[in-house]
Amino acid sequence: MARDRLRHDDHDNHERWLVSYADFITLLFAFFVVMYAISSVNEGKYRVLSDSLVQAFKQPPTSTKVIQIGNQTVMGAPAKPIALPAPPVPNKATEEQAKKMQDMASKIKSSLDQLIDEGKVRVTQSKRGIAVEISDSVLFDTGRADLQPQSVAGLSRVAEMVKDTDNLIQIEGHTDNAPINSAQFPSNWELSAARAASVVRVFVQAGVAPQRMVAIGYGEYRPIDSNDGIEGRAKNRRVTLNILADNKDEVAVLPLDTPAKPGE
């Protein structure tokens, strides 16, 4: 029995760990093969994505509107290029008219430079034309519509500059809100209209065609400043000469200025 037990022990395999080790090496090899395969697939996907982006930027812009077709959702068709409007072609007549008005405004400013420096006259230019705003203290005595003698010379100089043109002229009279109730002027309407008419007469005497002009009295209803103070009321008492850039067939259709808000 002892001899049989010894013979059985001699046949035990002491190298069975090699089997487990071989299995481990096989699994490790399989793991690296799988990892390599995954990395190769991702690289291919990245390459496809890169090519798609390059092609997308080379194509015309597409609409981002989503279109439902059955159970599928697709993007809209490529958008058509937007045609930008052509820049306006310069109009020679318009350019000449603008230059003429600019030159006229410069001459008027030079002629009335002293009064402009004193703040009695303001000359502005816009698309509508030239506006010469004259304080009533330069032209009239309080509550009167007769022009002061020294003011006639200045108005005559302006009239000489415009008499050979074809621009229509709108002369506006304005007052403050101080009431007036005299036999000659029952209200500020009559006073402002009479003052505008006095300036029109000077222009006619200087040679300006009467059919080119219109006299308008606005009374106290188009102030450019508040009537609460002395300075504001003085600014509101004025006569404005509007030399219009766009001619009309009839003086009656001359456009009116937008009323200014008090304090502006």
Taken in order of first residue, the domains within the chain and their CATH numbers are 17-75 (no CATH), 92-253 (3.30.1330.60)
Per-residue pLDDT, 86: 66
Q: Which amino acid is at 83?
A: A
Distance between CA atoms of residues 234 and 242, nearest Å:
20
64 pLDDT band (50/70/90 cuts)?
low
Kindly tell me if the per-residue pLDDT of 40 is higher than 80.
no
CA dist., res. 145 & res. 9, Å (int) = 146
Q: Which residue did the predictor score with more confidence, 79 or 84?
A: 84
Residue 46 has pLDDT above 70, yes or no: no
Bridge partners for 239 per DSSP: 134, 173
Q: Which residues contact 236 (CB under 8 A, 6 or more apart)?
A: 174, 175, 176, 177, 220, 223, 224, 225, 227
What mean pLDDT value characterizes the chain? 80
| pLDDT value at residue 34 | 74
With cut-offs at 50, 70 and 90, classify the pLDDT of residue 30.
confident
Closest by CA to 166, choosing from 94, 109, 246, 105, is 246
Q: Is 47 exposed, middle or buried (0-12, 13-18, 19+ CB in 10 A)?
A: exposed
**What tokens appear for 97 in the block?**
């008219």
Closest CA to 167 of 227, 117, 83, 100: 100
| Degrees, nearest 5: CA angle 143-149-151 | 80
- pLDDT over threshold 60, residue 87: yes
Closest CA to 175 of 192, 159, 198: 192
Measured distance CA(158)–CA(146) in Å, rounded: 18
Q: How confident is the model at residue 253, as a pLDDT? A: 42
Over residues 70-90, mean pLDDT: 59
Identify the residue with better confidence: 94 or 4. 94
Query: Largest Cα–Cα distance in the chain?
Result: 162
More confident residue, 258 or 138: 138
Neighbouring CB atoms inside 10 A of 34's CB total 10
Encoded tokens for 54: 């390059």
Say which residue the tokens 């008499």 belong to.
163
**Residue 255: predicted pLDDT:** 46
Instruction: State pLDDT tens for residues 102-142.
Output: 999 999 999 999 999 999 999 999 989 999 999 999 999 99
Instruction: Give the residue among 127, 125, 134 at the shortest CA–CA distance from 157.
Output: 134
* Per-residue pLDDT at 111: 92
pLDDT band, residue 202 (cuts 50/70/90): very high
Reported as a pLDDT band with limits 50, 70 and 90, residue 229 is very high
DSSP three-state, residue 121: strand
239-254 tens-digit pLDDT? 999 999 875 544 444 4
DSSP string, 87-129: PPPPPHHHHHHHHHHHHHHHHHHHHTHHHHHTTSEEEEE-SSE
Contacts of 192 (CB under 8 A, 6+ apart): 172, 173, 174, 175, 217, 218, 219, 220
